[in-house]
Structure 1
Amino acid sequence: MARMTSSARPLLNRRLAEFGTTIFAEMSALAVRTGAINLGQGFPDTDGPEQVREAAVRALRDGRGNQYPPGPGVPELRTAIADHQRRRYGLEFDPDTEVLVTAGATEAIAASLLALVEPGDEVVALEPYYDSYAASIALAGGTRVPVTLRPHEGSFRLDLDELRDAITPRTRLLLINTPHNPTGTVLTRAELTAVAELAVERDLLVVTDEVYEHLTYDDAEHVPLATLPGMRGRTVTIGSSGKTFSFTGWKVGWVTAAPELVAAVRSAKQFLTYVSAGPFQYAVAEALALPDSYFEEFRASMTAKRDLLAAGLTDAGFTVFRPQGTYFITTDIRPLGFDDGFAFCRALPERCGVVAIPNAVFYDDRTAGAPFVRFAFCKRDEVLSDAVTRLKA
């Protein structure tokens, strides 16, 4: 069918032209086509707590959230988020003016960047980065400036001098992610203190993606950036229920920040989804009030899954970067005789029936990420064991 225009201009907004279909869609389709075990996309293969699921059912039956919920989110959830931040981190937020419920963390990221970034602004982001960061910066008309986390003694670390050098008079905002997807790095208190001091010195805003806050392992400590000196009034903190409670399809996320920052983000968010996930908001409010034992058991379970997959990948010949957080393991494929993660991941399902993600999609500098491949371990133990057996073969 002929185009209904004489213009030669491309149909897709030029700001999005570089992105195309996400690698997650490509690799998930490949998993379905080949019958491979999908360790690519980060979603659990079991549901979260039964009592939380029943809370959603109860909300549906009681007629709570079946119509448009309030724009900022239902009061019960906003109060639960504020209580969570106070109980866990000593952060005080007003549920009415400093909490905003979003359609998952992805919308929170997009709304924050659309609200706070203008054409010509630079956004400094840690590389490799979750793919929606780059798209959201582009949609806002900003320029992304990557600062690369580099392998060092078995993990990926931030070079604070490189971060400082990346900041220019055009820098508007730092986009920080800890625990970090895809590398599994958890920034230390010392590293985050240096980031905070830099933000205060240069008068920068900070958007911090902390959706894996409850998934830290061994001795790693999650330190919310907003708890550090000078950061409470300049930090937009993003959280999410999906990773913590294993209901990723509900898409319930949130923003906590000073009133003027929340108001700015809400101005952008209202023209994206406006509202979403009505009944699920009530369920997540109950989930956030679960006892500490839930979070401890969840972390212990995920630690065991990490160890199971990490051992299997090591035995199969990968170099494994043991994650301190999230539910992803980054590996180096060069010991196996490969250096192109794209080609490796596209061939892996046919070769051994396992799907992974090439980390290069999370880099501006594709060569820096070329030899690294990410596997998700948020799956049932028997699925991970089967995947390990296939990879060894």
Structure 2
Amino acid sequence: MTVTRLASIPGIGVDRVGDAADSMRDADILRLENLDTDLRPPAAALRATHQAIDDDAANSYLPFLGLPALRQAAVERVGRAAGCVYDAASECIVSAGGLAGILNVLLSILEPGDEVVLTSPTYAGLINRVRLAGGVPKFARLIPGADGWRLDLDSLADAIGPRTKAFLMMSPSMPSGYVASVDEWRAVAAHCERIGAWLVYDAAMERILFDDRKVVHPASLPGMRERTITVGAVSKEYRMIGWRVGWIVGPAEIMNDVRLASLSNVVCQVGIAMPGAAAALSSGDDGVAEAVAEWQRRRDFLLSELADLPVVRPHGGWSLLIDTRSLGIEPPEASQRLLAHGKIAATPMTNWGPGAERYLRFVFANEPVARLRDVRERVRHALQL
């Protein structure tokens, strides 16, 4: 019998598609189902990680809240984006990856039954963590258009109720690639101030922006430094998925509670991974600009090849969505047919928020253009389009 806290958590679907693709043991399968990337981490991060393996001090639980050098690098990183100054000792904790940081923050701010506003579509793992923390997810709708996604400000206002405790926002958002505009951030900030809510900002992909877009950090808005908790990680921008290192940066008043949640949850971070993470954040040559340029090339190629299909243009991130329901094919069926007949692994967006169930996701971060050359023919053959 499923315990209550898991009763409304169906999973994320990516694991099932990934396992099915793995079981086929076919190198020709295009791996578009999972947020991986083939681009290498920063060289400085690799060197520091190799050195840490031979460093006995890195083989330790200590320091529980993260290496001081990494905490300092994290607050400087967040501070540059937000135009704020943060204290590394009292306003930063290193987490075992970004999502562990998100859960620890939610455990620190939510009472059972408190509501959290998210956009939809959004990552099922964020929705599930709200539920694990005892919260109730509410949704503001992202509207697809000819030039990408925009936030429905009316649905944002409608999602707010007397028990709204926080907004959990990601920009660029996964899976859609939605990037919040200044006006959209201002609308969120106004609601936060009006009702006294927290803004939990998932900044995992903050700099993965296309078409010359610029970072807009919500803590840079008037009055938002004291309401914004930023959670970042080295996984996406720095291409360091396996390191499992993230950071939580926020006002001192909440960070002691986050510290208690962190110590009671994962306890500490990966010791041998933190020096590499610190090196990535501190390096003058982190490779982010070059990586973003390559990911944009892949996005542009897919948009061109799939131009006759209902694809929504992403403004950032690692993935795009295809509305297969408008083609008369439910996304789970499309996923099965693409894998079986097109050698494409892609995840249906079932349980990724209201309305998301009509979409199939293609991740473009892990396959070079050379391997994507026949993607339209594969899709045409598998879906009989």
Root mean square deviation of aligned Cα:
1.8
Partner of 1:22: 12
Q: CA shift at 1:389, angstroms? A: 5.1
> What does residue 252 of structure 1 align with?
245
Identify which range, 58-67 or 241-250, moves more after superposition: 58-67
Indicate yes or no: 2:42 matched with 1:55.
no
Alignment of 1:83-122 (within 5 A): 83-122=76-115
Supply the AA of the counterpart residue of 1:247. M
SS in 2 for 1:279: coil
How many residues align? The count is 377
- SS of residue matched to 1:378: coil
- Measured after TM superposition, the shift of residue 109 of structure 1 is 1.1
C-alpha contact (below 8 Å) 2:107/2:133 kept by paired residues: yes
- Give the equivalent residue in structure 1 for 2:196: 203
Unaligned runs of 5+ in 2: none
Check conservation: 1:120, 1:141, Cα contact below 8 A: yes
1:6 matched residue in structure 2: none
- Aligned counterpart in structure 2 of residue 346 of structure 1, from 320, 332, 336: 336
3-state SS of paired residue (2:351)? helix
**Matched residue, 1:140:** 133
Q: Which amino acid aligns with 2:80?
A: R
Alignment-mate amino acid for residue 110 of structure 1: L
Structure 1 counterpart of 2:144, from 137, 151, 160: 151
| Residue matched to 1:328 | 319
2:123 maps to which residue?
Answer: 130
Deviation digits for residues 277-296 of structure 1 (CA, Å, limit 9, x no counterpart): 11211111111122267322
State the 1:359 CA deviation.
2.1
Q: Is the 8 A contact 1:188 1:221 kept in 2?
A: no
Cα offset, 1:387, TM superposition: 4.2
Distance 1:292 1:190, change over 3 A: farther
For 2:23 and 2:286, the matched residues in 1 are separated by 40
Q: 1:80 to 1:65 in 2, by over 3 A?
A: same
- Alignment-derived partner of residue 282 in structure 2: 289
| Alignment partners' CA distance in 2, 1:79 and 1:154 | 38
> Following superposition of structure 1 onto structure 2, how do residues 1-393 of structure 1 map, counting pairs within 5 Å?
10=1, 12-34=2-24, 35=26, 36-291=29-284, 294-314=287-307, 317-334=308-325, 337-363=327-353, 365=354, 368-381=355-368, 382-385=370-373, 387-388=375-376, 390-393=378-381
CA distance in 1, matches of 2:246, 2:40: 17
Q: CA deviation at 1:154?
A: 3.3
One-letter code aligned to 1:126: T
Is contact 1:80–1:289 with CA below 8 Å preserved after alignment?
yes
Query: 1:112, 1:304 → 2: CA distance?
Result: 35
Between the aligned partners of 1:66 and 1:239, the Cα distance in structure 2 is: 24
Distance 2:151 2:175 in 1: 14
Which stretches in structure 1 are left out of the alignment for 5+ residues? 1-9
Distance 1:384 1:52, change over 3 A: farther
- The AA in structure 1 aligned to 2:333 is A
The letter of the residue matching 1:385 is: R
Equivalent-residue separation in structure 1 for 2:57 and 2:378 (angstroms): 46
1:7 maps to none
SS in 2 for 1:167: coil
Q: State the SS of the aligned residue for 2:187.
A: helix
Judge which range, 17-26 or 213-222, deviates more: 17-26
CA displacement at 1:68 relative to structure 2: 1.2
Residues 1:150 and 1:375: Cα distance change in structure 2 (over 3 Å) = same
Q: CA deviation at 1:118?
A: 0.8
Partner deviation per Cα, 1:189-225 (whole Å, 9 max, x = no partner): 1110111111111111111111101100103222111
Cα distance in 1, alignment partners of residues 131 and 159 from structure 2: 18
SS at match of 2:56: coil
Shift of 1:271: 1.3
Q: Deviations over 1:274-313 (max 9, x none)?
A: 0121121111111112226732222212111211222223
Percent of aligned positions that are identical: 31
TM score, norm. by length of structure 2: 0.93
User: Does 348-357 or 47-56 show the bigger shift?
Assistant: 47-56
Greater alpha carbon shift after TM alignment, 83-92 vs 215-224: 83-92
- Tell me how far apart the structure 1 counterparts of residues 133 and 358 of structure 2 sit (CA, whole Å): 31
SS in 1 for 2:229: strand
> Residues 77-102 of structure 1, C-alpha deviation per residue, up to 9 Å, x if partnerless?
00111222233442211110111111
CA distance, structure 2, for counterparts of residue 311 and residue 109 of structure 1: 35
- The Cα of 1:51 is off from its aligned counterpart by 2.9
Report if the CA contact (8 A) 1:42-1:378 is conserved: yes
3-state secondary structure, aligned to 1:173: strand
User: Which is worse superposed, 250-259 or 39-48?
Assistant: 39-48
Q: Once the 2 structures are TM-superposed, how far is the Cα of residue 184 of structure 1 from its aligned partner?
A: 0.5
